[in-house]
Amino acid sequence: MESFSVSVIIPVWYEAEGINERIEHVFQRAAEAVCSPAVEIIVADGEPDASTLSAISRTDVVQLACPQGRAAQMNAGAAQATGDVLLFLHADTYLPVGAFDLLHHALQQEAGRDGAKAGAFTLSIASNNRFLYLVSVLANWRNRLTRTPYGDQAQFFIRSYFEELSGYAPIPLMEDVEIMRRIRQRNESIVMIDSPVSTSARRWEVEGMYRCTLRNVLLRLLYGAGVPAQTLSHWYRAMKG
């Protein structure tokens, strides 16, 4: 992979307040990269009023209004992407120092082995709370054991491979787990980059650390047991409320 072009796709839902800071963060990481990547940012807004798009100050960001739903938004962003690599970045997640060099090296190394065409970064939660640190440690242990990283770990794919997979499944929940499962079912490898992304602790802080963690664990177990994502979505909204 001599040339290295990356489309960073950010699905958003009422993120107007922090979207410009997130965009600048991505461009700063790209500017720091030794591999000189060509980086485009696509913001896929599922809000009815597209308020996050209205708040974007830069003109070199692709702004995309699309149907609500993270899977639908990410697939819409991927359909507009021009990069050879697709990097799906949640709006509350920050890339590590050297992210694009790490990504380039990982895919280049795997390409030489005819290996992984998809992967993710390691997880860290932006909090000094010891419980949340334990949550991230256990999540990373599980990820390395099962090779099914979550979406908040900045999943990435060679674009042609993502298209071969037909993108994320059109389900309301667990689209990140589902696509990694499909890759594993194909007996194809998933690369894990050791350097962690930093994910905001806001959902744990708003919903309660123990409640949020228990809910996430239960949803994952139920999905693994075969409960449909549509059913889990109803339960998720009820538990969240």
The string of pLDDT tens digits covering residues 162-215 is 999 999 999 999 999 999 999 999 999 899 999 999 999 998 988 899 888 888
Let me know if residue 109 belongs to a domain: yes
Let me know if residue 237 belongs to a domain: no
Give the three-state DSSP class for 87. strand
Let me know if residue 112 belongs to a domain: yes
Between vectors from CA 90 to CA 219 and to CA 141, what angle results, nearest 5°?
55
Let me know if residue 155 belongs to a domain: yes
**pLDDT, mean of residues 27-55:** 96
pTM of the model: 0.93
Query: For position 99, what pLDDT does the model report?
Result: 97
Q: How many domains does the chain have?
A: 1
Domain CATH number, residue 130: 3.90.550.10
CA distances for 31 relative to 38, 112, 173, angstroms:
10, 26, 34
Cβ count within 10 A of residue 221: 10
Q: Which domain holds residue 195?
A: 5-202
| Both structure tokens of 72 | 């639908």
Query: For position 155, what pLDDT does the model report?
Result: 98
Give the three-state DSSP class for 161. helix
Backbone angle region of 157, left / alpha / beta, with phi > 0 → left and psi within -120 to 50 → alpha: beta
